Amino acid sequence: MPRWESDAQGRLERAALELFETQGFERTSVAQIAGAAGLKERSFYRYFPDKREVLFAGNELEAHLVAQVEAADPGLTPIEALLTALGTAEEIFRPREFLLRRGRVIAANPALAERDLIKLADIADALAPALERRGVERGKARFIIDVVLAIHRRAMPRWLAEPDTTLAQLMAQAAAELREAVTLPAPRVR
């Protein structure tokens, strides 16, 4: 997203975030967002299907991750392929300061928090066939994806808080934390 700061989509995203912060998500209209971005209302719909979608950048992340898994070295294990793919996601991320503010707005609005959950589930659904094409059975593929998304969720707040780190480093750190947690004595079966 080299021109995100100035292009129409970026202007809409930043205008929406600003309005959601100052007057609330519910009280902000698509017309207001478009107006604040210096665009006509119908231009908004060229980029986003509705107001809830403006902070989720369409399917950019999903498409990026699927392409990364498809392109991953065949010698990588499924979990390595996914960790590597998610580790590169910062290439298409918005600036940290935007993401921090975005996170707060999403957490404060149930409609956006729900959309966030749905987006994540959509990403998991989209990644599963890419792992299956690497020979991973469907149920196992979904399991590995869920675990790697948990690792990603663990790494993100640290990445946002620590500007000198890479997401890949922090995901490797979270993966190590998981390894430690699960290699403790096996849980008793009752």
- For a copy of itself, give the closer residue by CB, 100 or 121: 121
Rounded CA separation 179/18 (Å): 40
- The DSSP 8-state label assigned to residue 9 in this structure reads H
Interacting residues of 31 by C-beta distance below 8 A, sequence separation 6+: 41
Name the minimum Å distance from CB 175 to a copy of itself: 6
Residues that bind a copy of itself (CB under 8 A): 76-80, 83-84, 87-88, 113-114, 117-118, 121, 139-140, 142-144, 146-147, 149-151, 153-154, 157, 166, 168-169, 171-172, 174-179, 181-190
Name the minimum Å distance from CB 178 to a copy of itself: 6
- For a copy of itself, give the closer residue by CB, 26 or 189: 189
Burial 48-61 (b: 16+ CB within 10 A, else e): beebbbbbbbeeeb
Name the minimum Å distance from CB 44 to a copy of itself: 23
**């659904």: which residue's tokens?**
125
Rounded CA separation 84/89 (Å): 9
Name the minimum Å distance from CB 79 to a copy of itself: 5
- For a copy of itself, give the closer residue by CB, 31 or 176: 176
